[in-house]
Amino acid sequence: MDQVQEFFGGIFSTSEWPPRWYCGNWSDFHGWLYIVSDILIWAAYFLIPVFLVRFIMRRKDFPFPKTIWLFGAFILFCGATHLIDALIFWVPVYRFSALVRAGTALVSLATVYYLFKIFPNVLLLRSVADLQREIDERTVVEEKLADSEFLLTAAGNVGKLGGWEYDPATGQFRWTATSRNILETDEADIQDENDLLKFFPEPYQLIIRAALRESIQFGRPWDHELQLVTPSGTRKWVRFSATPLLNATGQVTKIRGIIMDIDRYKSLEINLVKSIDQMAQKNSQLQSFTHILSHNLRNHSSNIALLTDFVDESTLSKDNEELFQKIKTVAKHLNGTLDDLSQVIKIRDNHLEGEMLDMREVTEQVLDVLDESLHTSQAHIDLDFEEKQIFFPHIYLESILMNLISNGIKYKKDGQHPMIRLRFYRNERGLKVLEYSDQGKGIDLSLHADKVFGLYKTFHKHEDAHGVGLFLIKNQIEAQGGNIQVFSKVDAGITFKITFNENA
């Protein structure tokens, strides 16, 4: 302890040692080389911490700032030892030199300890190559984002579809460029709810206000078609929709949505609805006129037929009797025509509900009705039913089978027995098909393809040919959502393919 007290008591004492020039045999060159080198080392050691301090003051984000301060202190202490070494050539402050060296040792050990402590974290720092690679990746991503943003903006401009965002905390709106174009205004003009409501007439203001309140309070999305008025006075229809964004506690933090200019489509829709209403009204008037006309003509034709029954044909002359027979024939045909037209009107006006029918059972009922004709013509009927049931109105199915089979008997080849085949199966689309085919006279479709199902269109001479059956068949099938096709050649028979639509 005496030595310690003596050391610190004479820390700057020079009486016990001579200057270094007098210790040993120093030449001028050797001494000054030592002195100048120490001073230059001290000068460099002094300037390095200056740069380090300037660096740490400017780069506040440097990850290990204590390292810089420790290095600065360590370098300053090292430089101080060299400066004192040079000074000792004239002022032998050996005690002070030892103290500075001790301080240098402590600072050096503290720096080493701190470096050891942060070394694992230093290893986690990314290299220049890593940073460059990240920069390159970010550049690629930014380019892709720019391309996507361009395409999205272009698509929004073409489709007139813009986006918007509302912050319930601040009550402020943000709008995309396309949204501002739709509203024909700048974003500064639509900052809050009151600014937005100015663009909409009063009935729509209530809708928007209520929709925003429900989104904020209950997190409900909404989607409305509204009409707005732009600052230039233009009225346009827009689709205005929103989806709330909720945080972990279920509170609404943002409301985001779209606004789309649908004026063109909405105008077309309104005009279409008006046209449909007008067509429905005209159709109703036409139906009424048809019924009235049919009823009045039927009354007149019935009266004519009734009057002919009161005429005593025996009192007529031969010429008058022939004329009277023609009148009776015309009256009979007129009644028949009106009956056919009445049946067609009923098919088109009335939608019959379908029922589940057994195809074989209904077919056999029709064959029982036609039993006399089948027996007389010695017709052969082949039934090939892969499917059993069909959902269809009973009266229509019975009428279709009756007309097809009776036509097969009527239009058989001369001198041959009718050969008729009925197939009932499911096609490749899963729809049920009734296929009728015979080996009769057939039809030249190259001439009559567009007339086959026409009213009063006949293609062969026969006393019972009226040209109504196929017309009725087509109307009955199409009334239930199905369709019918015909395939035929002259003297090679005919095939009708009926595709049912049970989901119609």
pLDDT at 358: 93
CB atoms within 10 A of CB 242: 22
- Summarised one tens digit per residue, pLDDT across range 435-488 is 999 988 888 777 766 777 776 556 556 555 555 778 888 888 888 889 999 898
Q: What are 343-395's pLDDT values in tens digits?
A: 556 555 556 678 899 999 999 988 888 888 888 888 899 999 999 999 998 88
pLDDT confidence of residue 341: 59
Which residue carries 């009979």 as its tokens? 332
pLDDT tens for 14-71 read 888 889 898 888 899 999 999 999 999 999 999 998 888 888 888 887 778 888 888 8
- Residues paired with 150 in a beta bridge: none
Cβ burial, residue 48 (10 Å; 0-12/13-18/19+): middle
**Residues facing 131 on adjacent strands:** none
Residues in the chain: 504
Model confidence, pTM? 0.39
- Cα dihedral sign for 61, 63, 66, 69? negative
CA distance 51 to 78: 16
Cβ-based neighbour number of residue 116 at 10 Å:
9
pLDDT at 317: 76
Cα–Cα distance measured from residue 353 to residue 479, given in angstroms and rounded to the nearest whole number: 11
Average pLDDT for 288-315? 64
| Cβ contacts of 399 within 8 Å, gap of 6 or more | 472, 473, 476
What is the chain's alpha carbon radius of gyration, rounded to the nearest angstrom?
Answer: 53
Q: Where are the alpha helices (H) located in 198-317, listed in sequence order?
A: 202-218, 263-310
Burial zone of 175 (CB within 10 Å; 0-12 exposed, 13-18 middle, 19+ buried): buried
235-246 and 389-392: which strand pairing? Answer: unpaired
Going by pLDDT thresholds of 50, 70 and 90, the confidence category of residue 6 is: confident
Tens digits of residue pLDDT in 112-148:
998 888 888 877 777 778 878 888 888 888 887 777 6
> In the CATH scheme, what is the code of domain 355-499?
3.30.565.10
Rounded to whole angstroms, how far apart are CA atoms 238 and 259?
6
The CATH number of domain 160-261, selected from 3.30.450.20, 3.60.20.30, 3.40.228.10, 3.40.630.10? 3.30.450.20
Domain ranges of the chain: 2-124, 160-261, 269-349, 355-499
259: CB partners within 8 A, 6+ apart: 161, 162, 163, 164, 179, 182, 183, 238, 239, 240, 241
- C-beta of residue 26 within 8 angstroms of C-beta of residue 16: no
Q: How many CB atoms lie within 10 A of CB 71?
A: 17
CA angle 187, 189, 192 (to 5 degrees): 90
pLDDT tens for each residue of 184-242: 888 778 888 888 888 999 889 999 999 999 999 999 999 999 999 998 888 999 999 99
Contact 484, 498 (CB under 8 A): yes
pLDDT band for 300, please (50, 70, 90 cuts).
Answer: low
Burial 194-215 (b: 16+ CB within 10 A, else e): eebbebbeeebbeebeebbeeb
Q: Residue 261 is encoded by which pair of tokens?
A: 């200019």
What is the average pLDDT score of the chain?
A: 83
Contact 422, 435 (CB under 8 A): yes
Residue 330 has pLDDT above 80, yes or no: no
